[in-house]
Structure 1
Amino acid sequence: MRRIILSTESGADIPVDLADKYDIQIVPMHVIMDGVDYLDGELPVPDIYDYYNRTKKIPTTSATNTHEYTEFFTKIKESFPDCIIIHIGYTSKASASFQSAVLAAKDFEDLHLIDALNVTGGLGAVVMYAARLLEKEPTIEPAALVGKIEAAVPKSRLAFVPGSLDFLKAGGRVSNAAYLGATLLKMKPLIELKEGKLVSTKKYRGEMGRIIDKLMRDYFTTYDIDKEQLYFMYSLGFDEGLKPRINDLAAEMGYENIKWIQAGAMISTHAGPGGFGIAALEK
């Protein structure tokens, strides 16, 4: 039986321990700061925050390009001869990365591309679903696995709240008026993925702990979430003291298989410090 290899971008924020356990291959996206192009994963997140504090600007980010994908897929084929690659990509609605993968894939056989229409933990939830399925059914036919992954894509639910609006304002995603109003009223937007696009669906008011309580109750009321795995994402600067309360709330709702995921440099560039999110698959 030919080996199936799963791959994705660094924007999935797959923790190193899970990537190693399931041999998930990860291609880096880019963060450009002070004129230097860094591969996502090489730039420490605190450096991004320091840069903002100095300049009141945020770095820019860019997609993995076609040449990089060609090298990436070639390296996988060299490391795992005769393998079949299933690449689960960052939403094509928010990045050119998936289109670059499509162009590179023309030079390879036995390479399947799936647009996850999601980012960070939402993308990671789909990748990890595929990894666990492959672990349970190692002899599954590639076409069957691809079909199950594609069926899981619309079931992935991501919701997150930024720690502050500073980075969203610096990136031009929030107007000055909206920023001032939200700051005065202690309001934060709920960001969700809708048809592959990041959209603000509602606003929460209050301190972060209270907001997270509301977010979790709304999330589990709105979506019929599969209890097999639940992901909590956070960016550096998040109040670690809130984690026990969050874990307890999840347990009260019947969710015990929890994995905390720290946002990498690419996602942190847009989300800023102190953010919190939830990702999982619906039943």
Structure 2
Amino acid sequence: MKQRIAWITDSTAYIPEDLREKYGIHIVPLDVIFDDGAYEDGVELTSEELYEKIEQSKTVPKTSQPAIGKFVQLYETLAKEYDCAIAVHLSSQLSGTYQTSKTAAAQTAFPVEVVDSQIVSYPITTLLCKGFELAEKGVDYREIAETLRREASRNENYIVIGKLSQLHKGGRLTNAQLILGTLLQIRPIFTIKNGVVELFEKVRTENKAFRRIFEQLDRARSLHRVVQVEILHGNVIDKALELKETIKSKYGDLEVLVYPLSPVLGVHGGQGTIALTWTNEETES
């Protein structure tokens, strides 16, 4: 008899509604904190509303992990209907959400395997989908969690920041850096490696940034099996769809998905940010 596994993640993951309904995924929201109060990510604040409020605010809002009580209450409720659970959260290096989820699980009698995705956004969903496949084959929930922990290291991602002004407003750029960067059209490319955000490279102009990322995609495809690319955007759907067409014309065999960044991620990336991400799978022998 298959285990009744509950699936949990947090609001930084983008979960399409059909997937959420099919597998009954439980999403615990983080908070976005403005001067006028805290808003639950994706529940009380949409991405569009976030950017409007940021434009009107003199400071960039803060973000906060869910309170431990939210997890404890969820796990106690799930224990009545499920045998066990797997919770996949954003990188433990970027938020305390993973540790809070673990601590909450230890406080209940409900068996929960908590997985550090080492990433954010749709790559978390990719891990969950891998978990669903294994669960349908009857694999034990602990083994599924171990597999997902190994799979997490296969993600490759590149993030092009949309507005340097938001980095400046958030205190991550000085006035001089903002002025120089704007004049020279500098586009920093970041990547998340081993759960930590790192500067990959600084290039001139957005087009050069994407050409540089395509070079990385070419390299990845020469070494691994890459079947899907995800484009994640900060409220710039037209730009994201244009980029999708460029990728499809260059790599006709790739599936390309386009999704928005959650409000919590929008706080740190800013409007106009575009991220490309994919999974480097083992080549078939």
The alignment's TM-score, normalised by the length of structure 1, stands at 0.89
Contact kept? 2:232, 2:240, Cα under 8 Å = no
Aligned-partner residue type, residue 189 of structure 2:
L
Are residue 84 (structure 1) and residue 84 (structure 2) matched?
Answer: yes
Residue aligning to 1:212: 210
Contact kept? 1:44, 1:265, Cα under 8 Å = yes
Aligned-partner residue type, residue 173 of structure 1:
R
Match of 2:79, SS state, is helix
Aligned-partner residue type, residue 7 of structure 1:
I
User: In the superposition, relative to structure 1, how do residues 123 and 239 fare at CA in structure 2: closer, same or farther (>3 Å)?
Assistant: closer
Residue aligning to 1:156: 155
Provide the C-alpha distance between the structure 2 equivalents of 1:43 and 1:77, rounded to a whole number of angstroms. Answer: 29
User: In the superposition, relative to structure 1, how do residues 140 and 219 fare at CA in structure 2: closer, same or farther (>3 Å)?
Assistant: same
Residue aligning to 2:264: 266
Residue aligning to 2:110: 109
Provide the C-alpha distance between the structure 1 equivalents of 2:77 and 2:268, rounded to a whole number of angstroms. Answer: 30
Provide the C-alpha distance between the structure 2 equivalents of 1:275 and 1:67, rounded to a whole number of angstroms. Answer: 33
Provide the C-alpha distance between the structure 1 equivalents of 2:22 and 2:230, rounded to a whole number of angstroms. Answer: 17
Contact kept? 2:189, 2:209, Cα under 8 Å = no
Provide the C-alpha distance between the structure 1 equivalents of 2:154 and 2:180, rounded to a whole number of angstroms. Answer: 34
Contact kept? 2:5, 2:82, Cα under 8 Å = no
Contact kept? 1:122, 1:157, Cα under 8 Å = no
Aligned residue pairs total 277
**Displacement of 1:250 after TM fit?**
4.0
Residue aligning to 1:253: 251
Residue aligning to 2:231: 232
**Displacement of 1:6 after TM fit?**
2.0
Residue aligning to 1:70: 72
Residue aligning to 1:45: 47
Match of 2:8, SS state, is strand
User: In the superposition, relative to structure 1, how do residues 184 and 157 fare at CA in structure 2: closer, same or farther (>3 Å)?
Assistant: same
The alignment's TM-score, normalised by the length of structure 2, stands at 0.88
Match of 2:94, SS state, is coil
**Displacement of 1:20 after TM fit?**
2.3
Contact kept? 1:90, 1:117, Cα under 8 Å = yes
Provide the C-alpha distance between the structure 2 equivalents of 1:261 and 1:158, rounded to a whole number of angstroms. Answer: 15
**Displacement of 1:123 after TM fit?**
2.8
Say which is worse superposed, 190-199 or 16-25, in terms of deviation: 16-25
1:130-209 residue pairs with structure 2 within 5 A?
Answer: 130-135=131-136, 137=137, 139-206=138-205, 208-209=206-207
Q: Superposition RMSD on alpha carbons, in Å? A: 2.2
Match of 1:12, SS state, is coil
1:179-225: per-residue Cα shift (whole Å, max 9, x none)?
A: 2221111111111112211111101211x345323323323425645
Provide the C-alpha distance between the structure 2 equivalents of 1:50 and 1:220, rounded to a whole number of angstroms. Answer: 37
Contact kept? 2:240, 2:274, Cα under 8 Å = no
Residue ranges of structure 1 left out of the alignment (5+ in a row): none
1:115-134: per-residue Cα shift (whole Å, max 9, x none)?
A: 11111233333233323443
User: In the superposition, relative to structure 1, how do residues 168 and 145 fare at CA in structure 2: closer, same or farther (>3 Å)?
Assistant: same
Aligned-partner residue type, residue 188 of structure 2:
P
1:164-184: per-residue Cα shift (whole Å, max 9, x none)?
A: 112222222223222222111
Provide the C-alpha distance between the structure 1 equivalents of 2:18 and 2:256, rounded to a whole number of angstroms. Answer: 14
**Displacement of 1:241 after TM fit?**
4.9
